[in-house]
Amino acid sequence: MSLAGLKTVSDYRRLFTEKSKYLYDDSPSYAEQTRPKLNKGLSDSEVDDAIFWYPHIRGVMLVSGPPGAGKGLFSSMLSWKAKRYYEDKIVILDYKPRELFGFYIPFTKDMLIEQLERMKEAAGWDSIQFENMEEVGKFDKNQSKRWSSSRGEIFLNNSVMVLDEFHEYMDRRTRPPIGLILGDIFKFWRHLNLLCIGVTTRKGDLDYKRFQKAMTAEVRCSWAKKAHDERHSSTIYKLQPMKYDDAEGGVVPLRGRLVKKRIDGAKPREILGGEGYFDLFNSVNVKGISIPNSLKKEVRREEKMREEV
């Protein structure tokens, strides 16, 4: 069945009779989707912690600080807590954590494009053209916060996406195409019930305009300098909720909402089987650096010249 093939109003009336459930959006409301639902079995202290983090578990969060400041410690801790605390939360990472972290979905450009294709299908009218329509544009009520399409689940919905290579995607010098895609996703974080955590050493390296209007929080990390007790293994983070204000000319902090806390990465924790937050990730993991095409061409030219000589 194709909408382009329908010629009369009667054809459309017949369509509504035969395929009406694909022509309405009866998925849960915004309030229903965003209402916090905690996983069962949490301790009282975990419930308190989940309540504290809930206002920050949706939006676009920028995490910055110099090398070794504890950015990976913060983002790994928060993303792990998200899937432990909140029902049906999916974590998407562009780096490999340690096994202790548990289940996550690897972030790749191919995965991101496929997710957008699924979203486009589920949101549009093309879904009624498929013969097998049972899964097209369906909101899975068994998993209360997940959409699906004929191509598979849309797991960007209700997810926490950590982009440790944020500068690679949002480089203000090269403006890579993936930054445009991410910029579009940032506009719809409310619809997706999504938290994107972008990690960078220098905010000035980023194409700030692509995400600043969507930014909801900024976290600045610095390593605790005191060498007594457990502070030698701690990062101090300052979490500042933000909002975009045209009158102010950009992103401005929400007054009176600054949070300053310390994370001890080495402290043994019962919920981690006696391990610490440091054991969720590898702080010396291999980093990828994008190679400009111009440099590749230059190398090939030099190789050709040497061969000719």
3-state secondary structure of 66: coil
Confidence of residue 283 (pLDDT cuts 50, 70, 90): confident
Interatomic CA distance for residues 102 and 57, integer angstroms: 19
The pLDDT, as a whole number, for residue 144 is: 43
Across the chain, mean pLDDT equals: 82
The domains of the chain, with CATH numbers, are: 27-308 (3.40.50)
Interatomic CA distance for residues 182 and 228, integer angstroms: 42
Average pLDDT, stretch 235-250? 87
The pLDDT, as a whole number, for residue 42 is: 95
- Please, are residues 236 and 224 in contact by the beta-carbon 8 Å criterion? yes
The pLDDT, as a whole number, for residue 131 is: 44
The pLDDT, as a whole number, for residue 130 is: 41
Q: Is the pLDDT of residue 220 over 90?
A: yes
Interatomic CA distance for residues 24 and 30, integer angstroms: 16
Average pLDDT, stretch 235-246? 91
Q: Which residues lie below 8 Å from residue 305, measured CB to CB, with a gap of 6+?
A: none
Q: To 5 degrees, how large is the angle CA 240–CA 263–CA 48?
A: 75
Closest by Cα among 159, 181, 162, 160 to 170: 181
Beta strands in 151-190, from DSSP E residues, in sequence order: 152-154, 159-163
The pLDDT, as a whole number, for residue 269 is: 94
Question: Which pTM value belongs to this model?
Answer: 0.79
Q: To 5 degrees, how large is the angle CA 95–CA 169–CA 75?
A: 40
The pLDDT, as a whole number, for residue 32 is: 57
* Tens-place pLDDT, residues 108-149: 999 999 998 888 877 766 555 544 444 434 444 444 446 777
Q: Is the pLDDT of residue 216 over 90?
A: yes
* Tens-place pLDDT, residues 43-74: 999 999 999 999 999 999 999 999 989 999 99
Q: Is the pLDDT of residue 251 over 90?
A: no
